Amino acid sequence: MPYPKNDNKILSWAEEDRPREKLIHKGARNLSLSELIAILLGSGSSTSNAVELARELLKDAEHNLNHLSRWTIKDFTRFKGIGSVKAIGLIAALELGRRRQSHHQENHRTIRSSQDVYEEIGHDLKDLSHEEFWILLLNRANKVIRRVRISQGGVAGTVVDAKIIFKKALELQATSIILVHNHPSGQNRPSDADRQITKKIIKAGSFLEIKVLDHVIIAQHQFYSFADEGLM
């Protein structure tokens, strides 16, 4: 049933059409994205109700939740009817969704390919607006022991210290590691600095008998694997 157009207020709608009541009676899965966002917003503006405001947000984000999850408080507050409190609530809800997507079972994933690496950690890095450098620590069976963030930087890069990487690997008795970092720009090709740090870490690992299996660059919805390209 289309929403009523004569009255801007959701309270004037039939009860079964109101997002909150619809969720109670039919369940969250039966709501559209705009209805779910409207519930988070709670209210609209003087000219738009919450559902209409939610539609404006989605239109601006090209109806892509991954784009929306990259927005900052400043991005959300561009819209009339959204202050910092509403913006914070939306960002928190989107972060919960991301964490649910990347939640791991107690029995960690076995890494057999670069695609496994992306599925293990890609959800945590693909939507970041800054660079982060992580390592996956693996046991002899190539199961992930732990994921460790080594550094966090700005849009253009982050500092990586090989000593910190291998200190973590030795502490947790990892037999091999995989390097992972993201490119917020969406460009998945490695830079000269990426190539140099990879060679440096591989060399350091050889002295400690800790093999570096791959270096994967996460660039939003795509990735680049040094191993796949024969660069390891």
Does residue 106 sit within a domain? no
Does residue 151 sit within a domain? yes
Do residue 96 and residue 129 come from a single domain? no
Which two structure tokens, joined as six digits, stand for 146?
């732990």
Domain total of the chain: 2
Does residue 2 sit within a domain? no
Residues of the chain with pLDDT under 50: 1, 3-6, 105-106
Domain range for 34 is 10-101
**pLDDT value of residue 1:** 45
**pLDDT value of residue 101:** 66
Looking at 101, 127, 152, which one is the last position of a domain? 101
pLDDT digits (tens, 9 = 90+) for 162-220: 999 999 999 999 999 999 999 998 888 999 999 999 999 999 999 999 999 999 999 98
Contacts of 39 (CB under 8 A, 6+ apart): 19, 20, 23, 31, 50
Per the CB < 8 A criterion, the answer to whether 190 and 217 are in contact is yes
Does residue 196 sit within a domain? yes
CA distances 64 to 90, 186, 192, Å, are 14, 16, 32
Looking at 67, 101, 135, which one is the last position of a domain? 101
- pTM of this structure: 0.60
Looking at 53, 72, 101, which one is the last position of a domain? 101
Does residue 5 sit within a domain? no
Do residue 121 and residue 221 come from a single domain? yes
What CATH number does residue 168 fall under? Answer: 3.40.140.10
